[in-house]
Amino acid sequence: MWGCDYIPSLSGSSWSGRFFPGGILYLLVCGLFIFLFVYVAVRIFNAITTDKSGSHRDRTDSLAILKVRFAKGEISTEEFRKMKQILF
């Protein structure tokens, strides 16, 4: 048939014009996929780089508790030194 070479997506009369294949919905979906990809990549990177054991933080918290107990008189000097040596 003649005249069957009409391509509606290139006519420019709708949102699916020449500049945005698929229209605004296409841009939103692509933006969503890019956002999700970056979000997942950042979450994975943070999970790999963070220290799961928290050993440094635990030691400083434990030392603070030990100092408070020593200041209150709950433990003696010898016990304080022994416990501090165990922590570090």
How does pLDDT run across 13-43, given as a tens digit for each residue? 454 455 556 678 888 889 999 999 999 999 9
State the sign of the Cα–Cα–Cα–Cα dihedral 78, 84, 87, 88.
negative
Give residue 70's pLDDT: 93
Give residue 47's pLDDT: 80
Instruction: Report if residue 28 sits inside a domain.
Output: yes
| Domain extent at residue 19 | 8-49
Q: Which two tokens stand for residue 27?
A: 């841009």
Residue 42 sits in the same domain as residue 59: no
Instruction: Report if residue 2 sits inside a domain.
Output: no
Q: Which two tokens stand for residue 68?
A: 């408070």
pTM of the model as a whole: 0.39
